[in-house]
Amino acid sequence: MTTLLMFIAALAVMILLHEFGHFIAAKLVGIPIEEFGIGFPPRLLTLFEAGGTRFTLNAIPLGGFVRPKVLNDGEDGGEVVDALSAAPPQKQLVVAIAGPLMNLLIAVILYAVIFAHQGVPQTDKVMIVDVAPGSPAEEAGILPHDVIVAVNGKPVNDPAMLHDEIYAHLGEPITMTLARGDQTLTVTLTPRNPPPETGAIGILMGYPMRSVSWPAAVGWGLRATAEDVVQVASLPVTLLKKHDTNAQLLGYKGMYEVFQQFRAADVQAAEQAPQDAFPVNTLVFFIMVTVSLGVFNLLPLPALDGGRIALSLAEIVTRRRVPVSVVNAINLAGFVLLLGLLVLINLREWIP
Report yes or no on 201 lying in a domain.
yes
Q: What is the mean pLDDT of the chain?
A: 91
Identify whether the C-beta of residue 212 lies closer than 8 Å to the C-beta of residue 119: yes
1 has a pLDDT exceeding 80: no
Classify 351 as helix, strand or coil: coil
CB contact burial 30-55 (16+ within 10 A = b; e otherwise): ebbbebbbbbbeeeeeeeeeeeebbb
pTM, 2 dp? 0.84
- Determine the Cα–Cα distance for residues 315 and 21; give it in Å rounded to an integer: 23
Report yes or no on 161 lying in a domain.
yes
Report yes or no on 280 lying in a domain.
no
Domain residues for the domain of 162 are 126-210
224 has a pLDDT exceeding 70: yes
- Determine the Cα–Cα distance for residues 63 and 271; give it in Å rounded to an integer: 33
Q: Specify which residues 126 forms β-bridges with.
A: 148
DSSP 317-347: HHT-PPPHHHHHHHHHHHHHHHHHHHHHHHH
Q: Specify which residues 176 forms β-bridges with.
A: 151, 187
The residue that leads in pLDDT, 294 or 328, is 294
**Confidence (pLDDT) at 212:** 96
Mean pLDDT, residues 162-180 taken together: 96
Report yes or no on 132 lying in a domain.
yes
**Confidence (pLDDT) at 240:** 65
Write the CATH number for 167.
2.30.42.10
What is the CB neighbour count within 10 angstroms for residue 112?
22
341 has a pLDDT exceeding 90: no
Mean pLDDT, residues 174-182 taken together: 96
Query: Which amino acids are annotated catalytic?
Result: 19
- Determine the Cα–Cα distance for residues 65 and 332; give it in Å rounded to an integer: 17
346 has a pLDDT exceeding 90: no
Among residues 281, 243, 283, 233, the alpha carbon closest in space to that of 100 is found at 233
Confidence of residue 273 (pLDDT cuts 50, 70, 90): confident
**Confidence (pLDDT) at 78:** 59
**Confidence (pLDDT) at 77:** 53
Report yes or no on 294 lying in a domain.
no
Report yes or no on 174 lying in a domain.
yes
208 has a pLDDT exceeding 70: yes
The residue that leads in pLDDT, 72 or 64, is 64
The residue that leads in pLDDT, 161 or 251, is 161
Mean pLDDT, residues 118-131 taken together: 93
**Confidence (pLDDT) at 277:** 82
Report yes or no on 204 lying in a domain.
yes
The residue that leads in pLDDT, 326 or 238, is 326
pLDDT digits (tens, 9 = 90+) for 229-271: 999 998 877 766 655 544 457 888 889 999 999 999 999 888 8
Report yes or no on 177 lying in a domain.
yes
Confidence of residue 80 (pLDDT cuts 50, 70, 90): low
Confidence of residue 147 (pLDDT cuts 50, 70, 90): very high
Task: Work out how many domains the chain is built from and give that number.
Answer: 1
Q: Tell me the CA distances in angstroms from 292 to 107, 139, 238, 243, 286, one per residue in order.
A: 10, 45, 15, 21, 10
